[in-house]
A = this chain, B = another copy of it.
Amino acid sequence: LLNASPDLRAQLATTTPLHPRAGPRNSPIAAVVLTGAEVDQAAGLLNLRERQPLTLYATATTLRSLADNPMFSVLDPEVVCRRPVALDERFTLPGNIEAEIFAVPGKVPLYLEQGGRQVLVENEVNVGVEIAVGPAHLTFVPGAAAMTPSLGKRLAAADVVMFDGTVFTDDEMIVSGTGAKTGRRMGHMPIDGADGSLAALAGLPGRRIYIHINNTNPILIDGSPERMRVEAAGWEVATDGLEIVL
């Protein structure tokens, strides 16, 4: 159902038995749902450019950011249909998968920041995706700058939660000398701490998986104290090729 492997790099791709493998360049990817126009969210589309029919779902803001980059016109509009989706509008992906895009507290893409100022927003610039098959549903939130009551409620109702695991501690990149910004400055709440995601999402009933993990985050190290803490709290750490059956 869900394939978020890095070689696709478009954040969410759904596959469906309605599109069987056929022909030398066939692909099972029938639809792509983009959660934003950051490089790591959108650049993977440039790997799909061989006249492969698919539908691209995203907010109008994200589609506009793509359209502002002429390079993405290699995804020929005649074969790759852009479908703008309003927040909280339910739409149907191939394979009878219901989906919905919703706002998550976040920030504008780095390359659209004005003069380095951080702009925190809760609008269609930073979103999550809910995917439902029958009564089961999965909630995908790759970037969340903060927890809100409505986001917490949404996550509590999900059978599977995939959540922003960018950094373990807010100042991790500064301490490791890999960056000058905190996690929050980049639009990502940390895992650890009183207002981190581990505390905020303790006791969720569904399966919980950290995704979007920066290479400074010690939960990537099997057996590290931080990895053991998140696992003891019931979290999984996403890996390449992870498959989820709803």
Interface positions of A (Cβ within 8 A of B): 23-25, 37, 39, 42-43, 46, 49-51, 68-71, 73-74, 110-112, 176-179
Asked, given contacts A25-B178, A49-B39, whether A71 binds B69 with beta carbons under 8 Å apart, the answer is: yes
Shortest A38–chain B CB gap in Å is 9
Q: Which of A23, A70, A71, A110 has the most CB of B within 10 A?
A: A71
A111 adjacent to B71 (CB under 8 Å): yes
As for how many copies of this chain the complex holds, the number is: 2
| 8 A-B pairs in the complex with CB atoms less than 8 angstroms apart | A39-B74, A43-B43, A43-B46, A50-B178, A50-B179, A51-B179, A73-B111, A74-B110
Q: A51–B116 Cα gap in the complex (Å)?
A: 14
Q: A37–B73 Cα gap in the complex (Å)?
A: 13
In the complex, the 5 A-B pairs of residues with the closest C-beta atoms, listed nearest first: A69-B69, A73-B111, A43-B46, A69-B71, A74-B111
- Chain B residues whose CB sits within 8 angstroms of the CB of A70 once the complex forms: 68-69, 111-112
Q: A227–B62 Cα gap in the complex (Å)?
A: 45
- Chain B residues whose CB sits within 8 angstroms of the CB of A50 once the complex forms: 178-179
Shortest A143–chain B CB gap in Å is 16
B24 adjacent to A176 (CB under 8 Å): yes
| Chain B residue with the shortest CB-CB distance to A37 | B71
Q: A3–B135 Cα gap in the complex (Å)?
A: 51
Q: Which residue in B25, B69, B177 is a CB contact (below 8 Å) of A23? A: B177
Shortest A34–chain B CB gap in Å is 13
Q: A166–B46 Cα gap in the complex (Å)?
A: 19
Q: A69–B179 Cα gap in the complex (Å)?
A: 25
Q: Which residue in B24, B68, B71, B112 is a CB contact (below 8 Å) of A39? A: B71
